[in-house]
Amino acid sequence: MSFQLDLIRDKIECFEAESIKALEEKIQSQIEVNQAILLEVHNISHQMHVSEDGRRFYSAMVHFKVK
């Protein structure tokens, strides 16, 4: 019987929230989780959208790579 582990080398995660603070908290929480599997942040891109009724919506994509 053979047992082989494959490492995750790249991972892209998407986040969304109604406030920038909530978005930052979600991202920071996931950074800590991914550090446990030896991934670090490679790149972050983010956007903000304002709806017709004036509500703001924040989104981000975080690219994690192996250390």
The domain locations on the chain are: 10-66
Average pLDDT over residues 26-54: 96
Q: Calculate the average pLDDT of the chain.
A: 94
pLDDT in tens, 29-42: 999 999 999 999 99
pLDDT of residue 6: 82
Which DSSP string do the residues of the chain spell out, in sequence order? ---------EEEEEEEESSHHHHHHHHHHHHHHHHHTTEEEEEEEEEEEE-TTS-EEEEEEEEEEE-
How is domain 10-66 classified at the architecture level of CATH? 2-Layer Sandwich (3.30)
pLDDT above 90: residue 15: yes
